[in-house]
């Protein structure tokens, strides 16, 4: 049993492979709506909310290790022994940790717009402090500006408003503790232990996790390939079709 909010596109059935989608900081599982709709005809799709996000209650300790525990809880609750793991930003950090720690449960791994390490620790401490002192409204503008390219944002005001609602709907303390966990992580030593076939995808205009961070992951993971898409940090929202076009053949082969 788990207190984590999770959903599945269907009940388990023989021969049906599972894809686990893992969220970024400041977003619930609805972030993946477009990708889920495209994957569901071919896979059983699991989605979940991290602690302090969406419908999942806050937990006392939030680290990359405890967030990996949460992903394993979801797999257990959904009766899934082995899944393809697709993560965006924080979700990909969890995916990398899961693949290194529990290789038998990771059929393949897709890392979207993420990093194994952030040299600037202060920025995460500052965001956590702002969330606790002021809530998330004051952080929303800067976050949205990093997540989407300006041209796309101007053409999709409804999507931007939906993304803002996801962000400000996050528990401020959940955001703060998770931001501190992101700032503290260093996955670099474990990257060579990732045995799963890995697809690493960067957004060419992503200021949060620029392409160099994704190239560093691809260079360190033994069975990884690197691709770059036009777009910023939230590629599954800004470029869902392009993401799915790469995911489906990769997951099928994996």
Paired tokens of 91: 């979700």
DSSP secondary-structure letter at 117? Answer: B
Computed over its alpha carbons, how large is the radius of gyration of the chain? 17
pLDDT band at 253 (very low <50, low <70, confident <90, very high): confident
- Does residue 92 have a pLDDT over 80? yes
Average pLDDT, the chain: 97
CATH 3.30.465.10 assigned to 6-118+186-253: no
241, β-bridge pairs? none
| Range in 14-18, 139-143, 160-164 the model is least confident about | 14-18
- Does residue 213 have a pLDDT over 70? yes
pLDDT for the residue numbered 1: 76
Instruction: Parse the chain into domains and list their residue ranges.
Output: 6-118+186-253
Paired tokens of 226: 């690197």
Q: Give residue-wise pLDDT tens across range 169-194.
A: 999 999 999 999 999 999 999 999 99
- Does residue 39 have a pLDDT over 70? yes
The three-class DSSP label of residue 106 is: strand
pLDDT for the residue numbered 21: 98
- Does residue 134 have a pLDDT over 70? yes
- Do 26 and 130 meet the contact criterion of CB atoms below 8 Å apart? no
Quickly list DSSP for 31-72: GGHHHHHHHTTTSEEEEEPPTTSTTSPP-S---HHHHHHHHH
Determine the average pLDDT of the residues in 58-64. 97
d(Cα 122, Cα 106) in Å, to the nearest integer? 33
d(Cα 62, Cα 180) in Å, to the nearest integer? 8
Left if phi > 0, otherwise alpha if psi is -120 to 50, otherwise beta: which for 119? alpha
Q: Give residue-wise pLDDT tens across range 238-250.
A: 999 999 999 999 9
- Does residue 217 have a pLDDT over 90? yes
pLDDT band at 48 (very low <50, low <70, confident <90, very high): very high
pLDDT band at 203 (very low <50, low <70, confident <90, very high): very high
Determine the average pLDDT of the residues in 155-181. 98
Of 77, 69, 72, 79, which Cα lies nearest the Cα of 106?
72
The answer to pTM > 0.75 is yes
- Do 116 and 191 meet the contact criterion of CB atoms below 8 Å apart? yes
- Does residue 254 have a pLDDT over 70? no
């Amino acid at each position: 049993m788990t207190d984590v909010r999770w959903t599945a596109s269907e009940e388990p059935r023989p021969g049906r492979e599972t894809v686990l989608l893992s969220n970024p900081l400041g977003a619930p599982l609805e972030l993946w709506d477009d990708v889920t709709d495209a994957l569901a005809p071919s896979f059983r799709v699991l989605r979940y909310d991290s602690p302090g996000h969406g419908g999942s209650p806050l937990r006392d300790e939030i680290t990359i290790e405890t967030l990996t525990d949460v992903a394993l809880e979801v797999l257990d609750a959904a009766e899934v022994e082995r899944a393809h793991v697709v993560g965006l930003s924080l979700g990909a950090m969890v995916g990398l940790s899961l693949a290194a720690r529990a290789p038998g449960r990771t059929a393949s791994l897709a890392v979207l717009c993420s990093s194994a390490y952030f040299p600037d620790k202060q920025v995460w401490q500052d965001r956590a402090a702002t969330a606790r002192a002021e809530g998330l409204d004051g952080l929303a503008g800067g976050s949205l500006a990093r997540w989407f390219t300006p041209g796309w944002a101007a053409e999709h005001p409804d999507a931007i408003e939906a993304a803002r609602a996801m962000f400000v709907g996050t528990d401020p303390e959940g955001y703060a503790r998770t931001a501190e966990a992101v700032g503290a992580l260093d996955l670099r030593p474990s990257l060579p232990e990732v045995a799963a076939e890995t697809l690493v995808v960067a957004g060419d205009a992503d200021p949060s996790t620029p392409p160099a961070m994704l190239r560093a992951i691809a260079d360190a993971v033994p069975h990884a390939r690197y691709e770059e898409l036009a777009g910023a940090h939230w590629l599954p929202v800004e470029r869902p079709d392009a993401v799915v076009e790469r995911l489906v053949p990769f997951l099928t082969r994996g």
